[in-house]
A and B are shown apart, each in its own frame.
Chain A
Amino acid sequence: MVEEKKFHRQFNYAFIDERTKKEIRRKLLKAVCIPGYQVPYSSPEMPIARGWGTGGLHITLSLIGKEDTFKIIDQGSDASVNACNLRDFVKNTTDCDTTFETSKATLIQTRHRITEEELKAHQIMIFQVPQPEPLRGVERYEKKTREMHAEADYAKMWVSLYESFVRFGDIMRGAGYPVKVNGRYVMSPSPIPRWDIPNLSDAECLYLFGAGREKRLYAVPPHTTVEPLEFEDVKFKIEQFEGLKCEITGEQIAFLDELYGSDGKTTHVVNDSDFMNQIKEKERPIQWVNRYLTEKIEKTFNKN
């Protein structure tokens, strides 16, 4: 039990009652067993509205223990409003350690980014997912999309990628690029940038996805293949940031944010706030390794 002094209320440890936590953990096990498959779950009421990170919060609270160290980021930032409030909430209801440092965290809840620093086997990354259904854009009925997943009928998805290429000369998916998990299910990776997509594949850590409003959980277990959908002659690409570097650290190999100054000029800074701080204060943390990033590094430094 955790006591809240201000209103003299008592909560169960980590707010959610034990039976519901158990239910969520069972659903997570199922999700891990069938990579990329969306498992329906209870999505219990929380003190915040569904769709404001409740899916991620459900997973975090059902998994967290006293020995865990919790980190939460919102689009790469530890200090944004969404991250701060949810961190306070988790802290108040569990009293566990919280950190900004990626390497020290055991549970990392995130909105729309994967950390720039590579994650290890003891770490779990939890995504807050707004729309878990990758096929929603091409098929609006849930009954139909479930059938399509069951029969691995992804024709409409492929045609929409083809159409995108025909209309715009490229596959115009910025965030939430559709991926195929373990050669079977097409999955929405939540709106992470393309930069992060390759890091989902064959990772050491466990990725869990929670969509509170849509009441769905899914997972990418460690060492599972995650392939972005691409054609034989039109390939998936990550963001290039050609010729750009971070205004503060000079970093070139990281996902950059574009900032507009009051003078109308644009500058770029590293999006992942902890990654930037580590570079500034200590040393550059070990980054993910994937072939897209390797290409980017080669391209950047061969030019210079």
Chain B
Amino acid sequence: MMDNKEWLLKVENLTKIYGEHSVNTLDKTGPLFNSNQCPETGAIVACANIDFTLHPGEVLGIVGESGSGKSTLVKLLYFDLMATAGSACLKGYKEDNTNILEVSNQQKRFLRNHKMGMVYQNPRDGLNFRFSSGGNIAEKLLMAGNFHVGSIRERASYLLESTEVPVPRMDETPESFSGGMQQRVQISKAIANNPPLLFLDEVTTGLDVSVQAKVLDMIRRLQQDLNIAMIVVSHDLSVIRMLTDRTIVMKNGRIVEKGLTDQILQDPQHGYTQLLVSSLL
């Protein structure tokens, strides 16, 4: 897995800045200054100079306190936000070295529908509550060119079954579901087209502990069954410990530490990580 030739997603120098920035903006913000607001222009650096490589089937964790830029990072990669600078390349898309952050909207939608899945913290962001649960999954399948109602319903039932949502309720809107079920419908939708890459943004936040455990269990099972590469964003170290192989620790929009999850949890190097780990225990 650590073989560097085998990669799926390569992210370089990914940066997102809100507002007008000067040449010093990046130098005067970050964990050293404990701030992500530029003292000169007032620009907010949501994340900056992010580099990492994701391997096929690998699970990468991103931890950090709120405002550290971890959600911004996955939203940039899922095209919900426009990056200020940086590049991301996806293996198997065009000539492997195409910067997917700069392709046309149509191509971005193609990538979202065929190569990626996203599970948001709030199911309302990932699901359309006016459509039925089956319809939400159908949206992904339709966009990948499946126009056969029978096979769409078959696939939707299969996905809901494997995420433990009662199949007889597939034609109800997610509105009538519990939070945990909504989250599982969202996961079904995200993996509908067997994407090689899945983003999970604080998926268990706001769920009660037993439901959290169930959702995490399911994600781990899906990951093992389908060998999907995942980027798991969480502020909860126990989620990170349970799911991920490698971890990136972020603070004030920068990466402060990265390495194997076990290593980071056992022997944190950076002061902030030490604080995180000690507050877990």
Contacts and interface: CB of A to CB of B under 8 A. Distances in A.
B171 A166 contact: yes
A160 B142 CA distance: 11
A231 B136 CA distance: 17
A159 B142 contact: yes
A232 B132 contact: no
Nearest to A164: B135
Given A233-B148, A233-B149, A233-B150, A155 B139 contact: yes
Contact of B109 (A153, A156, A160, A232): A153
Interface string B142-184: 1100011110110000000000000000010000000000000
B138 A151 contact: no
B117 interface: no
B131 A163 contact: yes
Contacts of A162: 134-135, 138, 142, 149, 152
Given A151-B109, A152-B106, A167-B171, A159 B139 contact: yes
Contact of A232 (B135, B139, B147, B153): B147
A159 B135 contact: yes
Contact of B149 (A152, A156, A231): A231
Interface string A220-260: 00000000000111100000000000000000000000000
Contacts of B278: none
Contacts of B106: 151-153
A54 to B, nearest CB: 32
B105 interface: yes
Contacts of A231: 147-149
A231 B150 CA distance: 10
A11 interface: no
A32 B109 CA distance: 29
A234 B138 CA distance: 15
B149 A159 contact: no
A163 B135 contact: yes
Nearest to B138: A162
Contacts of A153: 106, 109
Interface in A120-177: 147, 151-153, 155-156, 158-160, 162-163, 165-167
Contacts of B139: 155-156, 158-159
Q: How large is the interface on B (under 10, 10 to 19, 20 to 34, 35 or more residues)?
A: 20 to 34
Nearest to B171: A166
Contacts of B152: 162
A163 B139 CA distance: 10
Contacts of B128: 156, 159
A155 B135 contact: no
Nearest to A147: B105
A134 B9 CA distance: 38
Contacts of B171: 166-167
Contacts of A151: 105-106, 109
Nearest to A158: B142
Contacts of B131: 159-160, 163
A261 B143 CA distance: 49
Interface in B116-145: 128, 131-132, 134-136, 138-139, 142-143
Contacts of A147: 105
A232 B152 CA distance: 11
Given A231-B148, A232-B147, A166 B135 contact: yes
Interface in B55-107: 105-106
A166 B148 contact: no
A226 B132 CA distance: 29
Contacts of A233: 148-150
A151 B113 CA distance: 14
Contacts of A165: 149
A204 to B, nearest CB: 30
Nearest to A163: B135
Interface in B246-281: none
A166 B109 CA distance: 26
Contacts of B147: 158, 231-232
Nearest to A153: B109
A166 B138 CA distance: 11
Contacts of B132: 163, 166
A167 B139 CA distance: 16
Nearest to A230: B147
B151 to A, nearest CB: 8
A233 B139 CA distance: 17
Contacts of B136: 159
A30 B47 CA distance: 45
Contacts of A156: 128, 139
6 contacts: A158-B139, A158-B142, A165-B149, A231-B147, A233-B148, A234-B149
Given A162-B142, A233-B149, 18 more contacts: A147-B105, A151-B106, A151-B109, A153-B109, A155-B142, A159-B128, A159-B131, A159-B135, A162-B138, A162-B149, A163-B132, A163-B135, A231-B148, A231-B149, A232-B147, A232-B148, A232-B149, A233-B150
Interface of B: 105-106, 109, 128, 131-132, 134-136, 138-139, 142-143, 147-150, 152-153, 171
